[in-house]
C-alpha cells in the first residue's frame, strides 16, 4: 500500500473510527482499524463486534499502490492530531506502515488482517430514506434522556419506530422522556418499524452522518444506515421499550415562556442546589413563575419570571438539569409548559414535532 494524502482528508474519519474501537475486548484483533486502498479510494473499517463502521475517502487522497493493512487506530489518530495540515505519504514496508512528511517520520506496526471480521454489505432495498441532517437532529434531541443502567438494557437505548410516512424517535430513563416525530417524503417500505438502538450506535451516527440523504434498513436483530461515504450497522438492543404514549398526560394548563429567559433563570436557581437534593421548586401563581432553591449550609435563591397564568397556584419540584437539557436542544424562541397537576409530569414543547416530558420530584409529606 502507498498513499499520498492531506491530513484533513482522513483525520475526522480516523477519529470516528476510533470512537467505535473498544478499549478492552476478548478479541484483540478488533482493537485495530483496517485500511483498504483500492479503486482510487480508501476504506476505513472499525468494529467493537456489535457496531460496524465503514468510511470511504476519495477526495484529497491518491492511491499509488493498492493494499490492506491493520493498525493501532489510536496511535494513528494521535499522529494525525500532532502533524497538522499538510501533504503526507503513507507506505507499507514489511510489517510496518511508514508516514512521512513535513520533517517527521513515523513507523506503525501492522497486524495480519486475515482474522479481522468481514462486514455485512448493504445491498437490499432500504426501509426508508431521509436527510442525514434530519436524522442526526432527531437523535441529538433524544439520546441524552437515556439511562446508563446495565440491568435494564432497553433504558440504555433509543426507540426507532415508524409507520407509513411517520418516523418517531424516543428516549427515556423513566424520570424524563424525549420524543421527536417527523414526516418523511416517501412512505416506509415495510408495515412497521419498532426497534431499540444502542446509545453508542446513536452517538457514532451523530458524529459520522453529514447533510446528505441516508438510507435505513432494519432486520430482525440489526440496523444499517448508509450514505454516500459512510455505512454504519449495529446489533439491536433486546427488551421491550416502555409504553411511552401512556406516560404523556392530557394537560389542562398551558403556559408560554421565553426559552432563553427560562434557561437563564434556571441557571441562577441551580447555584443553590446540591447533588444529593438537586431540585428546584416551581411556583406558578399570579402571572409569575417563581423558582426557589436552597442549601441550608450555603444560602438560597428566589428567581421570578413573568408569565400569563391566573389559575389556581401550583407548586412542583423539578430536577433543574433535566429541564435545562430539554430546553437546550429546542430551537424556538418560546416554549410551552403543559401541566396536569403537581404529581403528573410537565410537558415542554417547542416545535410541534418535539415533546419533552419531566417527572416532578415528589416531596415527602
Helices (H), 191-291: 199-208, 244-247, 259-270
CB 223 within 8 A of CB 309: no
pTM for the full model? Answer: 0.90
Euclidean distance between the first and the last CA atom of the chain, given in angstroms as a whole number: 71
97 in the same domain as 140: no
Asked if residue 365 is part of any domain, the answer here is: no
In a domain, 149, yes or no: yes
C-beta separation of 226 from 213 below 8 A: no
Last residue of a domain, one of 245, 271, 293: 245
d(CA 277, CA 275): 6
When pLDDT is averaged across residues 267-286 and rounded to a whole number, the result is 91
Domain presence at residue 85: yes
The backbone torsions φ and ψ at residue 153, rounded to the nearest 5 degrees and listed phi first, read -60, -35
For residue 364, being part of any structural domain is answered with no
Phi, psi angles (nearest 5°) of residue 26: -75, -10
pLDDT exceeds cutoff 90 at 338? yes
> Which helix (H) or strand (E) segment is 360 a member of?
none
120 inside domain: no
For the chain, helix (H) and strand (E) counts, in that order, are 7, 25
Question: 350 and 321: one domain?
Answer: yes
Render pLDDT for 183-226 as a digit per residue (tens, 0 to 9).
999 999 999 999 999 999 999 999 998 888 999 999 889 999 99
Give the domain CATH number at 236.
3.10.150.10
Q: DSSP character for 102?
A: T
Same domain? 232 vs 323: no
* Same domain for 344 and 289: yes
Q: How far is CA 247 from CA 110, 121, 194, 345, 347, in A?
A: 53, 39, 18, 8, 10
Residue 365 in this model has a pLDDT that exceeds 60: no
The answer to whether residue 7 is domain-embedded is yes
Q: Are residues 7 and 52 in the same domain?
A: yes
Contact indicator for 30, 116 with CB cutoff of 8 Å? yes
Clarify whether residues 179 and 208 are in a common domain.
yes
Q: In what helix (H) or strand (E) does residue 174 lie, and over which residues does it extend? A: none
Q: Are residues 231 and 264 in the same domain?
A: no
Tell me which of 82, 115, 148 is where a domain ends. Answer: 115
Domain identity same for 189 and 255: no
Please give the Cα distance from 337 to 335 (Å, whole number): 7
| Residue 318 within a domain | yes
Task: Return the CA Rg of the chain.
Answer: 25
The total number of structural domains in the chain stands at: 3
Identify the top-confidence range among 9-18, 114-123, 239-248, 355-364: 9-18
**Quick one: cell of 27?**
478479541
Residues 234 and 256 in one domain: no
pLDDT tens-digit readout, 297-313: 899 999 999 999 988 99
Same domain, 214 and 133: yes
> How would residue 150 be classed by pLDDT, with cut points 50, 70 and 90?
low
Residues 173 and 259 both lie in one domain: no
Distance CA 214, CA 205 (A): 11
Q: Could you list the residue range(s) of the whole structural domain that residue 323 is in?
A: 248-358
Query: Do 133 and 62 belong together in one domain?
Result: no
For residue 56, is it within any domain? yes
Q: In 3-state terms, what secondary structure has residue 328?
A: helix
Which CA distances in Å does 108 have to 45, 66, 175? 17, 18, 48
Amino acid at each position: 500500500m502507498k498513499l499520498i494524502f492531506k491530513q484533513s482528508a482522513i483525520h475526522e474519519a480516523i477519529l470516528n473510527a476510533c470512537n467505535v474501537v473498544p478499549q478492552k475486548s476478548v478479541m484483540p484483533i478488533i482493537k485495530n482499524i483496517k485500511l483498504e486502498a483500492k479503486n482510487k479510494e480508501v476504506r476505513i473499517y472499525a468494529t467493537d463486534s456489535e457496531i460496524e463502521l465503514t468510511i470511504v475517502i476519495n477526495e484529497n487522497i491518491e492511491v499509488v499502490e493498492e493494499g490492506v493493512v491493520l493498525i493501532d487506530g489510536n496511535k494513528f489518530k494521535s499522529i494525525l492530531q500532532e502533524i497538522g495540515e499538510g501533504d503526507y505519504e503513507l507506505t507499507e514496508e514489511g510489517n510496518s506502515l511508514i508516514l512521512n512528511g513535513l520533517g517527521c517520520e513515523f513507523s506503525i506496526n501492522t497486524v495480519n488482517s486475515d482474522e479481522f471480521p468481514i462486514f455485512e454489505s448493504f445491498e437490499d432495498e432500504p426501509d426508508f430514506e431521509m436527510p442525514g441532517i434530519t436524522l442526526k437532529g432527531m437523535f441529538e434531541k433524544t439520546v441524552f434522556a437515556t439511562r446508563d443502567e446495565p440491568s435494564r438494557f432497553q433504558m440504555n437505548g433509543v426507540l426507532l419506530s415508524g409507520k407509513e410516512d411517520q418516523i418517531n424517535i424516543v428516549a427515556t430513563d423513566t424520570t424524563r422522556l424525549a420524543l421527536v416525530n417527523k414526516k418523511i417524503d416517501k412512505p416506509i417500505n415495510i408495515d412497521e418499524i419498532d426497534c431499540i438502538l444502542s446509545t453508542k450506535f446513536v452517538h457514532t451516527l451523530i458524529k459520522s452522518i453529514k447533510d446528505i440523504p441516508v438510507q435505513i434498513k432494519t432486520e430482525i436483530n440489526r440496523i444499517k444506515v448508509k450514505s454516500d461515504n459512510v455505512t454504519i450497522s449495529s446489533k439491536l438492543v433486546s427488551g421491550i421499550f416502555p409504553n411511552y404514549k401512556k406516560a404523556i398526560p392530557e394537560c389542562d394548563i398551558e403556559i408560554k415562556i421565553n426559552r432563553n429567559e427560562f434557561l437563564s433563570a434556571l441557571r441562577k436557581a441551580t447555584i443553590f442546589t446540591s447533588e444529593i437534593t438537586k431540585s428546584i421548586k416551581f411556583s406558578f401563581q399570579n402571572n409569575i413563575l417563581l423558582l426557589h432553591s436552597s442549601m441550608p449550609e450555603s444560602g438560597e435563591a428566589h428567581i421570578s419570571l413573568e408569565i400569563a397564568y391566573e389559575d389556581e397556584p401550583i407548586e412542583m419540584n423539578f430536577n433543574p438539569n433535566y429541564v435545562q437539557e430539554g430546553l437546550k436542544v429546542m430551537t424556538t424562541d418560546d416554549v410551552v409548559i403543559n401541566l396536569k397537576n403537581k404529581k403528573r409530569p410537565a410537558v415542554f414543547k417547542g416545535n410541534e414535532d418535539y415533546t419533552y416530558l419531566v417527572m416532578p420530584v415528589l416531596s415527602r409529606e
